Amino acid sequence: MTLRPAILSLAVVLTACATSQPTPTRELIDTSRIPADVPVALQRAWWPIVAAPARDRVLHRLNFALAAARAGAFRPAEREFDQALNAIASVFSDRKNAKKALKLWYEEGMKDFKGEPYERAMAYGYRGLLYALAGEYDNARAAFESGFQQDAVAIDADTVADFSSLLYLKAWASAHMPISRSLAQDDWDDYQKLVPQSPLRRPAGRIAIIETGSAPRKVADGVGHAELVYRRGKGYQPNHLQTANGAVRIALLEDLFLQAATRGPRFVDRIIQNKAQFMERSLATGTVLSEIGDAAWIANIWSTAAGAGKVGMGAGYASDALGLASAISLLLSAKANPHVDTRYWAELPDRLYVVELADGATLFNETFELTYPDGWSFSVPATETVVVRSDTLEWYRVPHRFRYRPPIVYP
Amino acid sequence: MSLKRTLILATCSALAVGCASAPKPNATYVNPDEAGKVTGVGIESQDIRAMTDRMVRDMLANPVIARLQNPPYVIIDDAYFVNEGSQPINKRLITERLMIELNRAAAGRMLFVERQAEDMVREERERKRAGEIGAGANAPVRQVAGADYRLTGRIMTLDQIDPKTGRQGRYYQITFKLVDLESGLTVWSNLYEFKKEAEAGVLYR
């Protein structure tokens, strides 16, 4: 009983250590801090870049930049992609948040967000598209190559470096670099080595990129939420795309969910699993000690009732000591935080498709037909999708409002 | 009582010190010739400065250029300076610095044609000749200057990544050539090479 205040103090101290900064929700936007080239419609998407915790900044930059690019606001999109990619590519010699995220008491999400390899690869991929839209095909090619390299590190050697869409786009970009003619063939050879069965031809002219569905989601699963699993984006995702008359050959370029989900364990997962094991062991130890302490406490009552004073006092001290040890163990278990980082780039699509366009051809007058796994399909005129067009690239995004939910069938 | 008072005073002074300490500045000036705390395998400021300084010295010491009786007209911009590497970069960081340092060091032994400002020059000339604006202090020339030489170059990289450790190595070879725009001969060339390695933290592999 005398040890209770000490246990309480310990609980307070440990609670204070593990508290993380809450993410601000909605707040008033100070428009004077927003760059003048950010369109009014995108100001709310830009604001978290300065308002949210610094560790989430890259995520907000990516979300804004992609939305801005699709809206045709290229200058702010390029700037925010560049800022995000600088942070992704940099190795900081001292980063407090990274060290914190490795500690037992803090969840992985305490680290500065740089995204998983599929997100980092796509960040470079979109930057490459923006370079291409600006006519800088050499930098576009470099961005696609950098994106491809993001996928080159993994525990499971079979799943590394298979981001084929970026190799395809690299070959397409180098085809537009007349000073470096031999590069185009080399880059196409690299793509064909990776995807020997690809139905695509060597890209030399104009292409159209079509994005469908919503971003793969990261979900925390398992004991202590220590396991990172991927789910397809919210809602039912279309798994086939064609034009209404079927005349245009549309090829699947990348399934981002598969890229995310088939990569195998991450290096950091070992550390997180150790945290989870510590949490489980502390919980088990605390429970056992608590039960023994309870038994000693009952023995103390019986001894006191039976008039065996010294024996009763001994059992009482033992009960207190075990209670303290149990409490410490249970607190350690409760404060260990093996929760994986589930922040994800929500603006990404589920799938990317590509169309090789003949000179002068466009998809702008076509109608896209999306088919879902249950066979249901519906049509969306290309004019109703978000469109970016240049001399060499058309970029369509079938927006979220066309998401289909399968009807509920009652038995 | 006295112990409690001491504790309260100590806590208050600790809080006061915490509140009153001067805020650390978020931005500091650093030497662009040195590697900073933020690094990676990419081209950094010290690389650009070292590279362009070396090219300026070497180009001015080139006997073909030094022997010319009249100052040659040279175009140095990024139009034929190609990035074939794996790092997107604003190539003008290299070509602009090279041109400016050359212009300063050459002190009239070389003259530079600003081909990327051609539209600006053309518009001004047309307005002067149309009488919309007055003539400048200098006598008008019949034509916009053509160039004798043009800079070309390539940024090339060779990348290596250890898939198990995430350690990345990148070798850069950046080439510079001055091409005679009449004969097509390369009258000067040089290269700058370096290699960098970095390892991503375990959290990001």
| Residue B7 domain flag | no
Segment holding B159, helix H or strand E:
strand B149-161
φ, ψ (nearest 5 deg) of residue B107: 50, 50
Task: Tell me the per-residue pLDDT of A127-172, one tens digit each, with 9 for 90 and over.
Answer: 999 999 999 999 999 999 999 998 887 777 677 778 999 999 999 9
Tokens 């604001």, residue located: A47
Residue A223: predicted pLDDT:
82
A35 alpha carbon, distance to own chain's centre:
27
Domains, chain A, with CATH or none: 10-270+340-401 (1.25.40.10)
| Chain A, chain B: beta-carbon pairs less than 8 Å apart | 92
The C-alpha atoms of residue A266 and residue A155 are separated, in whole angstroms, by: 7
Which range is least confidently modeled, A273-277, A352-356, B28-32, B47-51? Answer: A273-277
| Residue B66 domain flag | yes
CB within 8 Å: A266 and B205:
yes
The C-alpha atoms of residue A35 and residue A39 are separated, in whole angstroms, by: 9
Q: Closest residue of B to A145, CA-based?
A: B86
Select from B48, B88, B92 the least CA-distant residue to A138: B88
Closest approach of A180 to chain B, Cα-based (Å):
8
Record the tokens describing residue A349, joined without a space: 């699509």
Q: Closest residue of B to A142, CA-based?
A: B86
Chain A contact for B67, CB < 8 A?
no
> Please, are residues A194 and A164 in contact by the beta-carbon 8 Å criterion?
yes
The C-alpha atoms of residue B83 and residue B91 are separated, in whole angstroms, by: 8
Chain A contact for B197, CB < 8 A?
no
Q: A240-243 and A251-255: which strand pairing?
A: unpaired
| Residue B50 domain flag | yes
| Residue B186 domain flag | yes
Residue B22: predicted pLDDT:
56
Q: In the 8-state DSSP scheme, what is residue A350? A: S
CB within 8 Å: A157 and B199:
no
Record the tokens describing residue B63, joined without a space: 């006997």
> CATH code at B62?
3.40.50
CA distances from A369 to A206, A244, A354, A380, B138 (A): 22, 5, 15, 6, 66
Q: Is the pLDDT of residue B190 over 70?
A: yes
Torsion sign (Cα): A190, A192, A195, A196? negative
Tokens 């699947």, residue located: A252
Task: Tell me the per-residue pLDDT of A82-134, one tens digit each, with 9 for 90 and over.
Answer: 999 999 888 655 566 667 767 777 788 788 899 999 999 999 999 999 999 99
| Residue B118 domain flag | yes
Closest approach of B109 to chain A, Cα-based (Å):
30
CA atoms within 13 A on the CB side of A159: 14
Select from B161, B156, B152 the least CA-distant residue to B171: B156
| Residue B172 domain flag | yes
Measure the CA angle with vertex B117, ends B113 and B123; round to 5°: 115
Measure the CA angle with vertex A74, ends A127 and A43; round to 5°: 110
3-state SS, residue A341: coil
Q: Spell out which residues of chain A touch residue B83, defining contact as CB-CB under 8 Å.
A: 138-139, 141-142
Task: Tell me the per-residue pLDDT of B70-100, one tens digit each, with 9 for 90 and over.
Answer: 999 999 999 999 999 999 999 999 999 999 9
Picking from A92, A93, A153, the nearest residue to B205 by CB comes out as A153
- To probe the interface with B, which of A153, A182, A343 has the most B CB atoms within 10 Å? A153
Q: B140 is in which domain, residue-wise?
A: 43-204
Residue B1: predicted pLDDT:
46
Picking from A89, A127, A268, the nearest residue to B40 by CB comes out as A89
| Residue B132 domain flag | yes
Residues in B 30-59 with any Cβ partner in A closer than 8 A: 37-42
Residue B66: predicted pLDDT:
84
Residue A13: predicted pLDDT:
42
E strands in B77-123: 81-83, 111-112
Indicate the number of domains in chain B. 1
Tokens 């175009």, residue located: B75
Confidence of residue B165 (pLDDT cuts 50, 70, 90): confident
CA distances from A2 to A190, A311, A323, A330 (A): 73, 18, 11, 19
**DSSP labels for B24-69?**
PPS-----TTS--SEE-SS--HHHHHHHHHHHHHHHHT-HHHHH-S
The stretch B177-182 carries a mean pLDDT of: 96
Residues in A 169-198 with any Cβ partner in B closer than 8 A: 177, 179-180, 183
CB within 8 Å: A141 and B161:
no
Instruction: In chain B, count H helices and then E strands.
Output: 5, 7
Residue B122: predicted pLDDT:
95
The C-alpha atoms of residue B203 and residue A103 are separated, in whole angstroms, by: 12
Closest approach of B171 to chain A, Cα-based (Å):
14
Q: In the 8-state DSSP scheme, what is residue B166? A: -
Residue with the bigger pLDDT between A267 and B12: it is A267
Residue A16: predicted pLDDT:
39
Residue with the bigger pLDDT between B138 and B157: it is B157
Q: Taking the C-alpha atoms of A19, A64, A151 and A355 in order, what is their torsion angle to the nearest 10 degrees?
A: 150
The C-alpha atoms of residue A25 and residue A216 are separated, in whole angstroms, by: 23
Q: B167-180 and B149-161: which strand pairing?
A: antiparallel
CB within 8 Å: A271 and B202:
yes
Residue B98: predicted pLDDT:
96
Select from B52, B160, B39, B12 the least CA-distant residue to A87: B39
Residue A289: predicted pLDDT:
76
Chain B contact for A154, CB < 8 A?
yes
| Residue B117 domain flag | yes
Residue A1: predicted pLDDT:
44
Residues of chain A with pLDDT under 70: 1-27, 91-98, 101, 157, 297, 299, 304-313, 315, 400-411
Task: Tell me the per-residue pLDDT of B138-153, one tens digit each, with 9 for 90 and over.
Answer: 888 989 999 999 999 9
Residue with the bigger pLDDT between B48 and A339: it is B48
Record the tokens describing residue A380, joined without a space: 């969306």
The C-alpha atoms of residue A40 and residue A31 are separated, in whole angstroms, by: 9
